[in-house]
Amino acid sequence: MNEPVTIVYDGECPFCSAYVKMLRLKRAVGNVEIVDARSSHPAVATLERQGFDLDEGMAVVIGDRVHHGAEAVHWLSTMSTPSATLNGLMARLLRHQRMARIAYPFLRSGRNAALALMGRKRIARRKN
């Protein structure tokens, strides 16, 4: 893949952070930039202008194409190398597009619950 890949995720979410850290993207992906959705990075502003809600899911940007939410974790799972960890098991499950669509709302709910328990605000509320 010749186009750069940008992964935009919630850096305050322990699950999102662990998932992004465990990713071992295949060499075919090439250059990968990892961006905290709570930062002032231009990719965050661009996604927001395009109408993507980063509280509803992480985003993977490849050129002009944006994968968001379940589609993003599915794409990341198909492009990562296997891992023996629990996160690796999740990656193997999320490689199946149907499973990613079914599981993603539960993963997002877990994220929201973890943020609430940790006293952290969601991204949209923090910016307002």
- 33-84 per-position pLDDT tens digit: 889 999 999 999 999 999 999 999 999 999 899 999 999 988 888 777 665 5
- Two tokens at 117? 């328990």
Q: Give the per-residue pLDDT at 16.
A: 80
> What DSSP state is assigned to residue 29?
G
Global confidence as pTM: 0.74
Whether 21 has a pLDDT exceeding 50, the answer reads yes
Rounded CA-CA distance 105/102 in Å is 7
Q: Give the per-residue pLDDT at 125.
A: 39
Q: Which residue has the higher pLDDT, 3 or 57?
A: 57
| 55 to 15, 26, 81, 111: CA distances (angstroms) | 13, 27, 27, 9
